[in-house]
Amino acid sequence: MIDPTITIQNALTVGSKYEFYTELVFSDKYNVEDALLYIYFPHINPTELDEESKNSLLEQFDTSMLEKQKEQIKDLISGNYWTIRENPNY
């Protein structure tokens, strides 16, 4: 409920989410799988997990949904941003 406001409380509550998305777009810190894990498990730092732990977490996702989300994250990382009309919430 406080997500869109610019306050100290907001920064403490959701600031890490905004830092993650900024790093996702403007750095090479995250690959697609790491980004997907962070989005669904924000309390876990995927860059600190071993491959076995990452794979066991990724197995919890619905396969068809996972592939679509991977494609969206690839587009985001590569700079292929969607337009507002392509957004399903438009």
pLDDT of residue 31: 84
Residue with structure tokens 């919890």?
60
Domain boundaries along the sequence of the chain = 8-86
pLDDT of residue 59: 82
pLDDT for 21-78, tens place per residue? 888 878 888 888 888 888 888 778 887 888 898 888 888 877 777 788 888 888 777 7
Structural contact between residues 74 and 44, judged by C-beta atoms closer than 8 angstroms? no
Question: Environment class of residue 35 by beta-carbon count within 10 Å: exposed (0-12), middle (13-18) or buried (19+)?
Answer: buried
